Structure 1
């Protein structure tokens, strides 16, 4: 019994050389190689000086400029057919959400604080939920526009911007309510992990309420799945301004990125876990931007003859 107690003590205390007394290191310290004194642990987080952070900042700024450029194109060609198609107000909401998603990358860089921990997941969840809600509302409008062309259709009175805008606002507000409940119950906070590594302290964000964290992600995943399924169902409808094919592909990219990231996120630790999150945000947002808006910008800039109702009709007929 005495030998066992001494062995347990050795795991907790440090012994000075040739000394019968032991010194216990503080939580932010660890023993040197000779085990004769305590030295300060190295503090780790995804700082702006890291090479990977420099890459993230460059890509984020570049994509912000690309998004602003596309937004400028849409403003300049506001009255053209391709911009008006499928609710231009939702298109601008989607562009703003994509722009904010690139900007929110900066919340994940630098030393985590209580305020940045709160803003990280809540901002990210709200922005992406609003973006996916806009795509879902666009898809609903495609379905209604086609169904309303049938004689005596009940959906004829719902044609317009009111229904899709209201649907997008309602679906986005649900995520906002989830975030408010999460913050009121147990909000995220800064945490210092002194146990995962012997020689360093990892400064990270603790989600607080695990239920709140997974509720935010779960609702976002639910919206993505519904948007993908509905867009896939209406992708072949013979509508001249049907965006469903582009929405289907964008949701496929979006869902594939986040599903593929889950194993990497669960296996990563420390700053690499944050880097995985930032990578997923950049790739998924880029997928939405490229799948939805690049084809439109190509028609606006390089095929202006198709940027009319007649041009789009003839293009659709050729396809």
Structure 2
């Protein structure tokens, strides 16, 4: 008996034909069904997975180093002026975003599929809401200096905690609704490619998936707009211009990711997602914290009230 796909072209001079199972395909001679190759973004077989792992670990360690620098110089003007508690929270959330890359690598399972987008969605919401809180505090701080303004009572931890809590809770609710109604799951796609079975995550609900990404986009856009208008306020400690640039990088990465994500299939879709996470997280670190670390480590004379005043005066 010949085992081969059921096709009219294969029925010529054949008495008996059999269609191969979904997990098999016919060999070159069309006389035997052979197992299809199972593929996913593997640590051992895909160089790109090893590269992503290495880059993610290095970036996480670099962010941890920056957190240590900020902790060591916590009483210096440049750290205190830019709300060090929000900086700590932002650095920790960026570290977690680098680590959540490992949820996307390796063979998917129902658990990792459910944790992938929801985890990075919540972590990025905390990070972007921290930047949003920083931008709002810059605006409030400037307005509070005007005579008769009562803005001082809104400054500090009360305002920042409210902004971060509110923005993060909305994303958490979206993820909870997603997981409770139509959660992601692992699936085997044996039909898209003739000789390959793709082990991948089915998002379950496309609406929920794009709602998570869309909400991150809304937060980033609002943070960008506020920081953009606050970047020229006459405050020598103003970091709004760095936030503006970081949000521009963040939005550019994810906007570029969408067409690349929709035009790929299988493990390359995961590779695009991982690249977007690493690139946007690294953009936040470089845009916001590298200038401060440069002053702290290499220009300590500017990390004083006199130095910052003198630099502004020039």
Q: Does residue 1:205 correspond to 2:209, yes or no? A: no
Q: Distance in 2 between matches of 1:33 and 1:98?
A: 50
User: How far does the alpha carbon of each residue in 1:64-120 deviate from its partner, in whole angstroms, 9 at most, with x for none?
Assistant: 111111011011111111111221111011001110111111111100000010111
Q: Distance in 1 between matches of 2:264 and 2:83?
A: 41
Query: Any conservation in 1 of the 2:6–2:18 contact (CA below 8 Å)?
Result: no
Q: Distance in 1 between matches of 2:293 and 2:10?
A: 66
Q: Does residue 1:38 correspond to 2:10, yes or no? A: no
User: How far does the alpha carbon of each residue in 1:283-304 deviate from its partner, in whole angstroms, 9 at most, with x for none?
Assistant: 1100000011001111111111
- Please give the TM-score of this superposition, normalised by the length of structure 2: 0.95
Q: Does residue 1:310 correspond to 2:314, yes or no? A: no
Partner of 2:7: 10
User: How far does the alpha carbon of each residue in 1:37-81 deviate from its partner, in whole angstroms, 9 at most, with x for none?
Assistant: 110000010000211111111111111111111011011111111
Q: Distance in 1 between matches of 2:102 and 2:205?
A: 23
Q: Does residue 1:47 correspond to 2:38, yes or no? A: no
Say which of 14, 22, 32 aligns to 1:19: 14
Q: Distance in 2 between matches of 1:208 and 1:192?
A: 14
Unpaired segments ≥5 residues, structure 2? none
Greater displacement, 135-144 / 269-278: 269-278
Q: Distance in 2 between matches of 1:280 and 1:304?
A: 34
SS at match of 1:153: coil
Query: Any conservation in 2 of the 1:182–1:212 contact (CA below 8 Å)?
Result: yes
Q: How does 1:147-296 map to 2 (within 5 A)?
A: 147-296=143-292
User: How far does the alpha carbon of each residue in 1:179-226 deviate from its partner, in whole angstroms, 9 at most, with x for none?
Assistant: 011100111000111110000000100001111111111100000000
Greater displacement, 308-317 / 50-59: 308-317
1:250 Cα shift? 0.4
Q: Distance in 2 between matches of 1:58 and 1:264?
A: 23
Query: Any conservation in 2 of the 1:113–1:190 contact (CA below 8 Å)?
Result: yes
1:9 Cα shift? 5.5
Query: Any conservation in 2 of the 1:14–1:31 contact (CA below 8 Å)?
Result: no
Aligned residue pairs, count: 309
Q: Distance in 2 between matches of 1:152 and 1:230?
A: 23
Q: Distance in 2 between matches of 1:249 and 1:159?
A: 24
Unpaired segments ≥5 residues, structure 1? 1-7
Q: Does residue 1:89 correspond to 2:104, yes or no? A: no
Q: Distance in 2 between matches of 1:282 and 1:121?
A: 14
Q: Distance in 2 between matches of 1:103 and 1:255?
A: 21
Q: Does residue 1:112 correspond to 2:108, yes or no? A: yes
Query: Any conservation in 2 of the 1:182–1:209 contact (CA below 8 Å)?
Result: yes
Q: Does residue 1:29 correspond to 2:24, yes or no? A: yes
